[in-house]
Amino acid sequence: VQAGAMESPFDESAEEFYQEAVTRCFEQDTCRISFLQRQLSIDFAQAAAVIERMESEGLVGPYSGSGNHEILVNYDDWRAGRI
């Protein structure tokens, strides 16, 4: 890693975990921290990190008052790598 460059917090196994989290959100058409906690048996911080990454990648919108993050992209486009 170059000086000043930031390492990704997602190693290979974490990347697979991230893919699973995104898939579950798409399948259930919901993206909430509590949903990911229950689905993946993870803690609040882990679920929040996943959703923050999804938001930064443009997959979901920002937090809304209901706790849900609106899914902004089509699942098939994401799976095909068009996003």
- Give the helix/strand (H/E) hosting 83: none
pLDDT of res. 12: 73
Residue 1 CA to its chain's centroid (Å): 24
pLDDT digits (tens, 9 = 90+) for 18-48: 999 999 999 999 999 999 999 999 999 999 9
What is the value of pTM for the model shown? 0.76
Contact, 46 vs 21, CB < 8 A?
no
- The β-bridge partners of 69 are 63
Q: How far is the C-alpha of 40 from the C-alpha of 20, rounded, in Å?
A: 9
In the structure encoding, which two tokens stand for residue 2, read together? 């170059």
Q: Which amino acid is at 55?
A: E
